Structure 1
Amino acid sequence: MSAPELRGERVVLRPTVPADTDRLDAIVREPEVARWWSPPEEYASMLAVVVEGEVIGAIQFNEETDPEFRHAGIDIFLSARWHGQGLGPDAVRTLARWLVRERGHHRLVIDPAAANTAAVRSYRKVGFTPVGIMRAYGRDHRTGEWEDGLLMDLLADELT
């Protein structure tokens, strides 16, 4: 399921369109982004992160629908030009609110590389807290080496 257009404080999240592909490909290949993201096969299941009419990245979510384990996960990348301006937390918070309020999730997860301190700091601003290290969790697409991931979660009543 795709989300409708969502508005944050400064960002707009909207379903991607084919015209976004070249821009998103360029962003995911920026060295600061490529360190943590491999180019996806397609962007159709993502939402474009838009600021002042410009696509600056993408955000996606997945949902576990088993009623005994129901939760949602979030992942995001932004162009390095826009890092450090509070737009990542704005986008994550906007999507998180929709997942809680409209989709009924009581728990959200996010799993950055443990070494991605900027992402961890950004997610903490939204209210995500570390749960634990997932050893050898993800393969670095550039080197082939396994890297640790940090599991973080946020309960609905903790969402700011």
Structure 2
Amino acid sequence: MEPITLTTDRLLLRPFVPGDAEALHAACQDPDIQRWTVVPSPYGLADAELFARQVSPGGWQDDSMYNFAVTVRDSGAVAGALGINRRTGPGTYEVGFWTAREHRGLGYTTEAVLCAARWTFASLGGDRLEWRAETGNLASRAVALRAGFRMEGDQRSGVINKGVRRDAWTGALLPSDLDLPGTDVYLPTGTAPAQP
């Protein structure tokens, strides 16, 4: 897929470019980002350059993951990162994100997640957007809840972070949660099928 840019009132979600490597490197020095996400630890400038120059563009090219630099429209500052990744099964995607320390508490990440969710449902034909975070990542869970994700439970050994399996919280957002139509018919448990 050709990379695209999404906008909200305050944000521009755009593909990463090689010039983002220094901002990525600086943000990912934050111990919380290294602790709770799958970025390498320690996180070197070479890691940021690899991500901005190869990993992120490669995901767009092979339609496996769509990574966005979350930037503040007024200043152009990189406030965070957000990725939409294909999961197994048609119409299922997963969202992941981090927020640079100096941009936390402003609602940027929730705004970005909602924008990316709408794009996933409308443009990618998504019918389910999953969120997963290591158990204990309260900041990520708060964003997911504010964005309307419904918590679905705990997974034992649900994520691998830096070579260690850890328990995870999971949740999902459906098109109907955002008053959008789905691609496939969804019949929740206990709902009677429509009569002809």
Within the alignment, does 1:57 sit opposite 2:80 as a pair?
yes
% same residue: 29
Counterpart residue number, 2:119 = 98
For the 8 Å contact 1:140–1:146, the answer to whether it is kept is: yes
1:85 maps to which of 102, 106, 113: 106
The answer to whether 1:147 aligns with 2:166 is: yes
TM-score if structure 1 supplies the norm length?
Answer: 0.87
Matched, 1:134 2:173: no
The structure carrying a bigger helix percent of its residues is 2
Larger-gyration structure (1/2): 2
Q: Deviations along 1:122-157, whole A, 9 cap, x unmatched?
A: 11111101111111223443xx64321111101111
> What residue in structure 2 maps to residue 31 of structure 1?
31
Cα deviations by residue, 1:10-33 (Å, 9 ceiling, x for unpaired): 111001101111211221221121
**What residue in structure 1 maps to residue 68 of structure 2?**
47
Label 1:28 to 1:147 Cα distance change in 2 as closer, same or farther (>3 A).
same
Does the C-alpha gap of structure 1 residues 64 and 33 become closer, same or farther in structure 2, counting only changes over 3 Å? closer
Unaligned stretches of 5+ residues in structure 1 = none
- Counterparts of 2:2 and 2:85, CA distance in 1: 10
* Matched-pair contact (CA < 8 Å) for 1:9–1:90: no
Q: CA RMSD in A?
A: 1.9
Q: What TM-score, normalized by structure 2, do the two folds share?
A: 0.72
Partner SS state of residue 112, structure 1: strand
Structure with larger RCO (C-alpha < 8 A, sep 6+): 1
Report SS of the residue matched to 2:134: coil
Aligned to 2:14: 14
Distance (whole Å) between structure 2 residues aligned to residue 23 and residue 2 of structure 1: 24
Post-superposition CA distance 1:82-133 (Å, at most 9, x none): 1111011001011001001111111110111120111101111111011111
Q: Would you say the 8 A contact 1:63–1:72 is kept in 2?
A: yes
Structure-to-structure mapping, 1:97-116, within 5 angstroms: 97-116=118-137
Q: Partner amino acid for 1:159?
A: L
Q: 3-state DSSP class of the match of 1:158?
A: helix
> Which one of 74, 89, 92 corresponds to residue 95 of structure 2?
74
| Distance apart, 1:7 and its partner CA | 0.5
Deviation at 1:2, TM superposition (A): 5.6
Distance 2:137 2:2 in 1: 27
Mean CA deviation greater in 10-19 or 23-32: 23-32
Task: Work out the number of aligned pairs and report it.
Answer: 156
Is residue 7–residue 13 contact of structure 1 (8 Å, CA) maintained in 2?
A: yes
Does the Cα contact within 8 Å between 1:28 and 1:77 map onto a contact in 2? no
Moved over 4 A (4+): none
